[in-house]
Amino acid sequence: MGAVPKRKISRHRRGNRRQHLALTAPVLVKCPRCSKPMRAHYACKACGTYKGRQVLKISQPE
Ligand SMILES: [Zn+2]
């Protein structure tokens, strides 16, 4: 057998260790160009612009 913990981790210690593991929801802001919700500090997925500049190619499926 390899290395095995000598004692059970108590509920308190386990919770203490996991206190920083919670996930946070992504920050959503309105796109200044198309006003759709987009992630802050990311290029807009809908119109492909960042800081007023076209940075992504948007293909229209029509
Ligand atoms: Zn946009």
pLDDT digits (tens, 9 = 90+) for 2-54: 999 999 999 999 999 999 999 999 999 999 999 999 999 999 999 999 998 99
Whether the CA torsion 46, 47, 48, 53 is positive or negative: it is negative
pLDDT at 60: 75
pLDDT-derived band of residue 58, with 50, 70 and 90 as boundaries? Answer: confident
CA of 27 to the centre of ligand 1 (A): 15
CA of 22 to the centre of ligand 1 (A): 29
Q: What is the DSSP letter of 42?
A: S
CA of 62 to the centre of ligand 1 (A): 19
CA of 6 to the centre of ligand 1 (A): 55
Domain residue spans of the chain = 25-62
Buried b (16+ CB within 10 A) or exposed e, 46-62: ebbbbeeeeeeeeeeee
User: Cα(52)–Cα(35) distance, rounded to whole angstroms?
Assistant: 13
The overall pTM is greater than 0.85: no
Residue 54 Ramachandran class (φ > 0 left, ψ -120 to 50 alpha, else beta):
beta
CA of 35 to the centre of ligand 1 (A): 6
pLDDT at 1: 82
